[in-house]
Every structure is written in C-alpha cells, then in structure tokens.
Amino acid sequence: MTLVTDDLVAVEFASVLASSVHDMKNSIGHLLNSAEAIESLVPDNSIARDQVLALQHEARRINFDLMHLLGLYKFERSRQVVNPTVVDCEEFLIELTAYNESLLTSRGLKFSAECRGAVEGFFDRDLIMGILNSTLNNTYNFAESEVEVSCGTLEGYTVFSVRDDGPGYGPKVLKGGGEQMGRTDYATGSTGLGLYFARRITEMHCHRGRPGKVVLDNEGIRGGGRLQLWLP
C-alpha cells in the first residue's frame, strides 16, 4: 500500500495549479492579441477605443500577475529563473516605450523615456522587461498627468527608474518594500504580488557578491511615486 503524505499532496496540487495558471496565461495572451487587433480598427477619440484600451489595461494586469505566479513557482521549485545577458539599454527602452506608450497616452498621460548613459546592462531581459511593463501598467491607475521611465548607471549598478505624479506610495508599502506578499490593501486592491516578485527577481541578479535591489520612495514627479530597479 502506498502512503500519500501531506507533502506529496501539496507538491501535486502546486503542479496542477501551475499548469492551470499557464493555461490561463495563454488564454489571456489570446485576449490581448485580439484587443490589440481591435484597437487598430477603432477610430481615435471614440468611446469604443477607450473601452478597448481599458480592457487591454485590465488584461495586461491579469497577465502580469499570472507571469509573477509562474515565476515564483519556478523559484520555489529551485529551478533556474534568472538568465542574465548583455542588453543594449537604449534598444530596451525603445521596446518598453512601444509597448506602453499608446495605452498611457490614451488616458491623457504624458509619457517619456530617457537613457542616461547606461549603454549596456547585464540582466535577464525578459524578466526585467516584465517587471517594468507591470509597473508602467499600474501608473495607468495612479498617475495624474505624467509618467517617466529612465535608465542610467550609479555606483556600478544599472538603474531603471519609473516615476509618476500620482499620490505616491503609502506608508505601509514604503515600510514593507515588497518583502511580504498576500496582505491585500483594500484601499487599492493590491496584494503586493508585483512588488514581491520584483524584489525576489532583482535580488537574484548578483555580481561579485552584490545583489540587485528594489528601491521605493516618493521622489517621483512632484512628489509622486518612484520605483527603482538596481541591477549589478
């Protein structure tokens, strides 16, 4: 007779859950592709276009959360998650802009991207792109009129910064800094998953004993929020 332990049940459940999340992510991907196709057919400055872009924003938010869950699952299973490569930071920002600009400007937000001297960085391109895309998608809800993303070098780190002119981060978020997940902020609906994922991934970028880090403060535009990714 085979005994089924609680640990085995937990592992099997986690695997089934991860598989289900992967399927949901694929479905959301198809939904996003359809939304982008519809967007190109809808006239500018129309109610229908605003509705399509709102749908796109929410679908992206769900997609990012699913990506974060899958990434954390791989991490907990001791699988290699981070694969750093040499990245052209200027080209990286161009791609980041292309993905986010139309959505943000549709809400009347001024969006700018600037490369401040960081010619090349060494990091996992896809994971960092995902974190920044998720962060910019969140500014859709909180920025008043302006969003800025920049890249530069500081103290031997490649530093990506996202700034907006919204209300800024609350005291609990600034104190926690993404160290804990699962405590829902009922004022915003945030579970902290995105920040937790960002912190775990940046810390896994390590060079000569120096890990990456996430820095949160309210040094954004006119006192708005600022998120920085420091990558060694």
Per the structure, how many domains does the chain have?
2
* Of 77-86, 96-105, 167-176, the least confident: 77-86
Q: Shortest CA distance to 169 belongs to which of 139, 146, 145? A: 139
Residue 1 lies in a domain: no
In the three-class reduction of DSSP (H, G, I as helix; E, B as strand; rest coil), residue 111 is classed as: strand
Note whether 115 and 198 are same-domain residues: yes
In the 3-class helix/strand/coil scheme, how is 128-194 assigned residue by residue?
HHHHHHHHHHHHHHHCCCEEEEEEEEECCEEEEEEEECCCCCCHHHHHHCCCCCCCCECCCCECCHH
Which residues, 6+ apart, have CB-to-CB distance to 71 below 8 Å?
A: 81, 127, 197, 201
- Residue 158 above 90 pLDDT? yes
Note whether 142 and 91 are same-domain residues: yes
Q: Give the tens place of pLDDT for each residue, 38-83.
A: 877 777 777 777 888 888 888 888 888 888 888 888 777 766 679 9
Contact (CB, 8 A) for 201 and 183: no
- Residue 134 above 90 pLDDT? yes
Which of 45, 76, 107 is the C-terminal boundary of a domain? 76
Residue 37 lies in a domain: yes
Note whether 105 and 41 are same-domain residues: no
Residue bearing the bigger pLDDT, 212 or 12: 212
For range 95-115, the mean pLDDT? 93
Note whether 120 and 24 are same-domain residues: no
Note whether 90 and 69 are same-domain residues: no
Retrieve residue 165's tokens. Answer: 């002119």
Note whether 89 and 195 are same-domain residues: yes
Can you give the CATH number for the domain in which 199 is found? Answer: 3.30.565.10
Q: Give the tens place of pLDDT for each residue, 136-145.
A: 999 999 999 9
As beta bridge partners, residue 227 has 162, 216
**Domain extent at residue 37:** 6-76
- Residue 223 above 60 pLDDT? yes
CA atoms of 186 and 12, how far apart (whole Å): 32
pTM equals 0.82
Note whether 67 and 171 are same-domain residues: no
The pLDDT value given to residue 151? 96
Note whether 43 and 133 are same-domain residues: no
Residue bearing the bigger pLDDT, 21 or 189: 21
